[in-house]
Amino acid sequence: MDYMYTEYYLVVDLATGEAEEVELEEKFVKEYVGGAKLNLALYEKYKDEDPIVFGSGLFTSTMVPGSCLGVLTAKSPVTGKIAHAPITWNAGAELKFTGYSFVVVKNKAEKPTYLWLHDEIADFVDATALWGKDTWQTTDAIREEQGEDRIQLLVIGKAGENKLTSAQVINNYWGDGDRFGFGAIFGEKNLKAIAMRGMGELDVDDAEGFLEKVEEVFKDVVSQVGSAKGFDAAAYANIPAAVKAAAAKQTHRVEADFNSPLAYKVYLKYREDPSVMAMSDIWNPGVLVSDPIGFAAIGNAVNPEAAGEVLEAVFRLGLNPVAIASKIKAKDAKGAIADLEKLAESSEAEKFDAVYSPISPESERTEAAYIAGICPVLAAKAEALNAETLAELASISTGIDFDADAFKM
């Protein structure tokens, strides 16, 4: 594909250690656009080989506001159906910059492995020494091994290794949109992580026309987002008032996803004074509340002051906070973390109700966002990111005629 995507997608066979570059044809993009929709087509194509697909949307990595989204698609061990997990932050954008807009991971590795994608190269790296390590240790170790701190990772912890349906694929250090037990699929495949770093470039068909239109959209989006930030921008999560009040005392800074104006992610510091801006010697001062709904679930289960620290343990073990919250018995941080460590190794964690609880608020624009590669949290807030506008941007940037229906599954 000449515009907005890379030339190839990647098909990885963990059983044979082979990686095949497959041309991403224009007619394929014309039919399936990208994101969840194109992922699904790839899933179907390789469904006999037990695939999990990580893919970008048409606008991922581009200047369209909120262009952070990557989507994980596979058959959910929780629901038994095909599901799409939105991955926000930076992993989706990094995937496309590696030179592969989509990666299909087939079959099972003989021994623990991580996949290292960098600039049109796919390496299978032995992860035996990483097996048993938590997600933070793993992210640090891989970044150190490959020599770059901005490597983006999808990684599992103990829960994924133990193939629990309550396992979650973690994004570097932080939980994200996997509510479907995809962490267990990684574990089943002996896949400790997918690590990505790319220096690729993406072309756009009508650069001048695109810039003009995207700036108009950008201005609309910024005004629709308004001044809402932090937990105010995450009202959809229904975080209990007491938890919010406790978190307010720990709040350090707010942050946004890749190329998104919506700073709804909140960093809480509970191991040092949150007003400290300079870097101290404390390497792990707190946690990024990357998933406000998951934070609300944990906040309901433990003491409000302990919610951040307990969320950190959830992330490190690679658990889905929504699935696991009701299993935590202790209210204090230490006790709750001990509970979680047991849960990550026990089938007790398997028994939860498969309530669909997405990471993002529901909106009429969610579906289009999943296909376009736009952060669904932003799309819910910004009316400008509707299917009609996305179709217009898609036509300008690719030279292919798209209509609003293209952004429906």
Partner 1 sequence: MGRMDSENLKIAIYIGHGASYSWIWFVKTFDSLDFNEVYFLDESDIKNGELSNYDCLVLPGGDPFLIADGLLEEGLDKIRQFVKNGGTYIGVCAGTYLSIIFNDDPMPWLNFAEVPINNFSERPPEAIRMKYKYIVPYKDGFVFHPVRGSLEVGNKDMSFKAPLYGGPSMMAPAENRLLDYVDFDDKTLYLVEEDTAKKTMVGNAAGIRVPVGRGCLYLFGPHFEHPSYPRANMFLYDIMSKIKPFAIGPAKKGDIVLLHGDDLGEWLGIIKRELSSARVLSSGLVNLRWKIGEKIWEDEKIIYFLNETWKTIRTLQRYDLLPIEDPKGLETNARLIHSLLAEIRVLSKGGQDTSKEAEMLIEATKKLSKGLFDTYFNLKRNNWWSNGKIS
Partner 2 sequence: MSIKVEPEKCINCGACELACSFYRDEVFTTMSSSIMMYREEVRNYFGLMLKEEDGMIEGRPEGAKFVAEGEASDSEAGASAKPILMREPCDKCKNALCVRFCPTGCLIEVD
Residue numbers of the site for partner 1 (CB under 8 A)? Answer: 118-121, 123, 146-151, 197, 199
Query: From the centroid of its chain, how far is CA 16?
Result: 27
Residue 401 in the binding site for partner 2 (CB under 8 A) = no
Interface residue with partner 2 among 15, 121, 207, 409 (CB under 8 A) is: 207
C-beta separation of 240 from 42 below 8 A: no
Residue 141 in the binding site for partner 2 (CB under 8 A) = no
CA gap 399, 379 in Å, rounded: 24
CB of 130 to partner 2, least distance (A): 17
Instruction: Pick the closer one to partner 1 by CB: 48 or 201.
Output: 201
Instruction: Pick the closer one to partner 2 by CB: 119 or 401.
Output: 119
Q: Look-up: residue for tokens 């938890």?
A: 243
CA gap 370, 82 in Å, rounded: 15
C-beta separation of 181 from 190 below 8 A: no
CB of 38 to partner 1, least distance (A): 25
Of 13-21, 218-226, 290-298, 359-367: span binding partner 2 (CB under 8 A): 218-226
C-beta separation of 33 from 371 below 8 A: yes
CA gap 169, 83 in Å, rounded: 14
Pick one of partner 1, partner 2, none as the site partner of residue 118 (Cβ within 5 to 8 A by kind): partner 1
CA gap 278, 245 in Å, rounded: 24
Residue 273 in the binding site for partner 2 (CB under 8 A) = no
Identify residues 144-163 at the interface with partner 2 (CB under 8 A). 149-150
C-beta separation of 370 from 57 below 8 A: yes
Residue 202 in the binding site for partner 2 (CB under 8 A) = yes
Interface residue with partner 2 among 13, 257, 291, 309 (CB under 8 A) is: 257
Of 159-167, 207-215, 338-346, 384-392: span binding partner 2 (CB under 8 A): 207-215
Interface residue with partner 2 among 13, 28, 35, 62 (CB under 8 A) is: 62
Instruction: Pick the closer one to partner 2 by CB: 238 or 280.
Output: 280
C-beta separation of 77 from 14 below 8 A: no
**How would you class 358 by CB atoms within 10 Å of its CB: exposed for 0-12, middle for 13-18, buried for 19 or more?**
middle
C-beta separation of 124 from 115 below 8 A: yes
Tokens describing residue 74: 């596979």
Pick one of partner 1, partner 2, none as the site partner of residue 269 (Cβ within 5 to 8 A by kind): partner 2
CB of 143 to partner 1, least distance (A): 9
Instruction: Pick the closer one to partner 2 by CB: 104 or 254.
Output: 254
Sheet of 18-23, strand order: 18-23, 8-13, 100-106, 52-56, 70-75, 82-87
Half-sphere exposure of 187 (CA within 13 A, CB side): 29
CB of 144 to partner 1, least distance (A): 10
CB atoms within 10 A of CB 303: 18
Of 62-70, 101-109, 188-196, 353-361: span binding partner 2 (CB under 8 A): 62-70
Name the residues that contact partner 2, by CB under 8 A.
61-63, 65, 97, 136, 140, 149-150, 172-173, 199-204, 207, 211, 215, 218, 222, 225, 229, 252-261, 263, 267, 269, 277-280, 282-286, 288
